[in-house]
Amino acid sequence: MARVKVMMMGTIGRITGLGNIELAIKPPAEVAQVIHSLSELHGGEALIDPKNLLEEALILINGVEINNLEGLKTQVEDGDMLVIIPVTHGG
Amino acid sequence: MIWISFKPLSPESRTAPPTCTRCEKRPSIYYRPYSGERLCSSCFTESIKERVQRTIARFEMFEHDSRIAVGVSGGKDSLNLLHILAEIERDYPRAELIAISIDEGIYDYRDEALEYARRACRILGIEHLVLSFKELFGLTLDEIVDKTAGGELKPCTYCGVLRRRALNMAAKIVEADRLATAHTLDDMAQTALLNIMRGDLRLLASSHPSGRSLPGFVRRVKPYCEVPERESALLAYLKGIEFQSFPCPYAEEAMRSDIRRFLNQMEAKRPGTLFIIYRASVELASRLGGGSEPLGVCSLCGEPTSGDICRVCKLLRKIGATDKWGSSTISI
């Protein structure tokens, strides 16, 4: 199994109540599947629906924004760190 | 630890990120859809600073000896702007920066942000003035919301009008000749569409990023207005700036939220949309000539206004709070 750390910054971390978690996944897998699993963990709310998420948040994999790779189709590998940063914070 | 199984995919190793299109040395970390650039962390950070510098120069926002009050809410945008201006101003020893924050009195949300603002000012060694709605107007925003629940005006209307006044008062107290706010490209495009959809050409005309010098008002400038909010979020992350975890409890101003969602979708489908709307609105504001001039002073509070009574006093009168406001005195 591949271990993937997910860090949810700011309001996304607080609202989902997930914060920082580690997932164990069966490779190969894509970012979209990680996000889908997070949605399920959160109860399936649209907040972390992949389509909305890409418009309203940045997703980094090992410090690289996923649109600079292959977007939601980017493969995740053992030891990867995903960071999800909400774009709108208010204030 | 949570165990999840995924559907197997065809085995294919991940490709490495392309080389930065700017320095042509380091691996890129960000793809900028509206320009086609792929940037490494340091070129990305530098590009944002350069954009702010270009905006300042293009709109002639500052003089070499400006005393600049920076509105710092404690959110990522204003903290980024404060850091960038502090860096730029190192080359202008006669210019001064002072941070000003307005505590609207929103439980949790503003308390957390103000702590981030205080911390940033301490690190940067920048003087920081915090003024609250309570001391200026006699009520916190939470108290105003309680009083106005179910009314036609939403919390954002009160907050926007009062905060604008409070920032101007704070800028005057610190004797600034400029008031810099961290409105992003997204804010500018949203406001432009909002004003068009409300048919408010006067507001559209007054939303020019260079501001105007008017009697009684510290000139408001928006040096961050060409930075997309998405890039502001990435910059904050790269700089290790703290992210607010509490969302504003009153944030859902219906029309702006609809426009924000619409523009986010348009920008994702047609990169560059935000810039096009922003540029069109700046051009329109220039052609419209800057909006109305205040002709006199408010008969209740003495602040400049184009009518008999200013908008702040009209709103406070609605909730029976003008007595406290009229008699409030701020001493720093």
ipTM, 2 decimals?
A: 0.92
B207 Cβ partners below 8 Å, 6+ apart? B188, B191, B192, B195, B281, B285
The mean pLDDT value of chain A amounts to 84
Domain boundaries, chain B: 49-293, 294-324
pLDDT band at B150 (very low <50, low <70, confident <90, very high): confident
Alpha helices in B90-184 (DSSP H): 109-124, 133-137, 141-148, 155-173
Contact A55 B265 (CB under 8 A): yes
**Is B27 close to A64, i.e. CB distance below 8 A?**
yes
Give domain status of residue A59, yes or no: yes
Output the CA–CA distances (angstroms, integers) from residue A39 to A16, A52, A53, A54, A66, in the order listed. 9, 12, 10, 14, 18
Residues of A in contact with B109 (CB under 8 A): 90-91
Of A14, A30, A41, the CB nearest to B246: A14
Number of domains in chain A: 1
Q: Collapse the DSSP code of B10 into the 3-class scheme (helix H, G, I; strand E, B; otherwise coil) and give the result.
A: coil
3-state secondary structure of A56: helix
Chain CA centroid to CA A14, Å: 14
Average pLDDT, chain B: 88
Torsion (CA) B300, B303, B309, B315 in degrees, nearest 10: -90
Residue B40 has pLDDT above 90, yes or no: yes
User: Could you tell me the two tokens for B92?
Assistant: 């202008």
Q: Which CATH superfamily is domain B49-293 in?
A: HUPs (3.40.50.620)
Residue at A50 is within a domain: yes
Residues of B in contact with A65 (CB under 8 A): 29-31, 234
Summarize pLDDT for B201-229 with one digit per residue, the tens.
888 888 889 988 888 889 999 999 999 99
Q: Residue A65 domain-assigned?
A: yes
Instruction: Enter the tokens of residue B159.
Output: 């907050």
Task: Provide the domain limits for residue A34.
Answer: 2-86
Task: For residue B263, give both structure tokens.
Answer: 């523009």
Q: For residue range B268-306, what is the model confidence (pLDDT) as tens digits?
A: 999 999 999 999 999 998 888 766 666 688 888 888 887
Q: Provide the pLDDT confidence category of residue B195 given band limits of 50, 70 and 90.
A: very high
**CATH code, domain with A76:** 3.10.20.30
Q: What is the pLDDT of residues A16-40, one digit of tens each?
A: 777 789 988 888 899 988 888 887 7
> For residue B148, what are its two tokens?
């106005």
How far from chain centre, in Å, is Cα B72? 8
Percent of chain B with pLDDT over 70: 90
